């Protein structure tokens, strides 16, 4: 991978290499775009096979956060950080404090948060070195805490918006919804769906998680490989990415695809296939933005009611995506990208015009 060539192609702003010999820190901070505001994105800790693999992951995820934050209507740019290491064996307080000093050195251009392989306790250690961190523990309610219930609520509102587009009514009563994966987010989602009277079909590689959903919601359990072909109105992928591919789309019977998983499309062409089949697809980074909306609220002093009202806007944002898709006859994934890109472009034009006006005023003096 030619790093600078890749960064130029996708218009990245910055890549920061972080190294601290004493703590064993080896990390990368990628900042994609700060047009709308400081770059907000989580800190991932993973056993990468190489430095280039870690860099590629950081860059890819940072660009994804630009689109997610823009589509969610947040005044934030996109960034991401990764630490090379086993989160079960390689963590130590010095490592996260060293990382915190690197975040602090960026003076607010990047704001970090919890992600795969990191926890609230890790954010607390980072917070000892910088204020540019969200998701810390706070007894006074100034932190949003666990974002999964908020993410689940956003998915629920997104499913309702998708149902309205597909069926003309957002009621989920009597609708059969196949939920792939019933972890923390999906279990809370199932609770919302069950309360509205939806019929649930669930699967997970974790049998205990499946049994929990069956007992709590009267859900019907199926084997993981069978979830794609069940008779259902809505398919909700809430586990692995790339589950929307040639094999699954050939047997999928749902009229709606809406779930919490990241990177649901195996390739861009699968978004085209979904569009051609007339299936309503809620782009993943739009419908699962509840978590980032929740942590973003911490930046202005966390207020749960305000955060939840912002999460409810996912409903209207998706309706806008569907409208763009219909009017331009393009896949919803492309419609979401265009919506995010337009918001960034408008801000850039506004900023450039302001600078141009300021230059004219100064030149006349």
In this prediction, residue 144 carries a pLDDT of: 64
> What are the pLDDT digits (tens) for 75-107?
999 999 999 999 999 999 999 999 999 999 999
Report the distance separating Cα 177 and Cα 196, nearest Å: 12
Helix (H, G, I), strand (E, B) or coil at 89: coil
Indicate whether 357 pLDDT > 70.
Answer: no
Give me the phi and psi of 171, to 5 degrees please.
-70, 135
* Number of C-beta neighbours around residue 285 at 10 A: 23
Query: Residues 278, 172, 194, CA angle at the centre, nearest 5°?
Result: 130
Report the distance separating Cα 148 and Cα 143, nearest Å: 14
Which residues are annotated as catalytic? Answer: 80
Average pLDDT over residues 162-171: 98
Indicate whether 178 pLDDT > 90.
Answer: yes
| Nearest of 319, 311, 317 to residue 170 by alpha carbon | 319
Indicate whether 142 pLDDT > 80.
Answer: no
Indicate whether 359 pLDDT > 60.
Answer: no
In this prediction, residue 362 carries a pLDDT of: 62
The answer to whether the CB of 264 falls within 8 A of the CB of 155 is no
* Number of C-beta neighbours around residue 90 at 10 A: 17
Report the distance separating Cα 223 and Cα 219, nearest Å: 13
What DSSP string runs through 227-243?
TTTS--SEEEE-S-S--
Indicate whether 109 pLDDT > 70.
Answer: yes
Give me the phi and psi of 41, to 5 degrees please.
-175, 150
Two tokens, residue 65: 């956060």
pLDDT category at 139 given cuts 50, 70, 90 is low
Report the distance separating Cα 139 and Cα 334, nearest Å: 42
pLDDT category at 1 given cuts 50, 70, 90 is confident
In this prediction, residue 332 carries a pLDDT of: 98
Indicate whether 194 pLDDT > 70.
Answer: yes
> What are the pLDDT digits (tens) for 31-69?
999 999 999 999 999 999 999 999 999 999 999 999 999
């Amino acid at each position: 991978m030619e790093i600078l060539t890749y960064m130029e192609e996708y218009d990245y702003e910055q890549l920061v290499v972080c190294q601290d010999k004493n703590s064993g820190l080896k990390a990368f901070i990628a900042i994609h775009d700060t047009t709308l505001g400081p770059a907000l994105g989580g800190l991932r800790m993973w056993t990468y096979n190489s430095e280039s693999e870690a860099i590629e992951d950081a860059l890819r995820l940072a660009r994804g956060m630009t689109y997610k934050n823009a589509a969610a209507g947040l005044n934030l740019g996109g960034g991401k950080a990764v630490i090379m290491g086993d989160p079960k064996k390689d963590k130590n307080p010095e490592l996260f404090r060293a990382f915190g000093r690197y975040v602090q050195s960026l003076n607010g251009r990047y704001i970090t948060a919890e992600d795969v392989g990191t926890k609230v306790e890790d954010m607390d250690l980072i917070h000892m070195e910088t204020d540019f961190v969200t998701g810390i523990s706070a007894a006074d309610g100034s932190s949003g805490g666990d974002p999964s219930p908020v993410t689940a609520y956003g998915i629920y509102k997104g499913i309702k918006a998708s149902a309205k587009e597909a069926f003309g009514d957002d009621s989920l009563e009597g609708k059969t919804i196949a939920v792939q994966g019933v972890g923390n987010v999906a279990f809370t989602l199932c609770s919302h769906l069950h309360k509205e009277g939806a019929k649930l079909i669930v699967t997970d590689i974790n049998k205990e998680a499946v049994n929990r959903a069956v007992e709590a919601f009267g859900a019907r359990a199926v084997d993981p490989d069978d979830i794609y072909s069940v008779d259902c109105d809505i398919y909700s992928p809430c586990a692995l990415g790339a589950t929307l591919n040639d094999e699954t789309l050939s047997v999928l019977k749902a009229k709606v695809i809406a779930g919490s998983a990241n990177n649901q499309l195996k390739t861009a062409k699968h978004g085209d296939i979904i569009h051609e089949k007339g299936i309503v697809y809620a782009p993943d980074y739009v419908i699962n933005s509840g978590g980032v909306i929740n942590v973003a609220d911490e930046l202005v002093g966390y207020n749960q009611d305000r955060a939840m009202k912002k999460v409810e806007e996912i409903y209207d944002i998706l309706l806008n995506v569907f409208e763009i898709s219909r009017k331009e006859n393009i896949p919803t994934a492309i419609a979401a990208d265009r919506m995010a890109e337009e918001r960034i472009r408008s801000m850039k034009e506004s900023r450039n015009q302001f600078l141009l006006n300021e230059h004219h005023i100064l030149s006349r003096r």
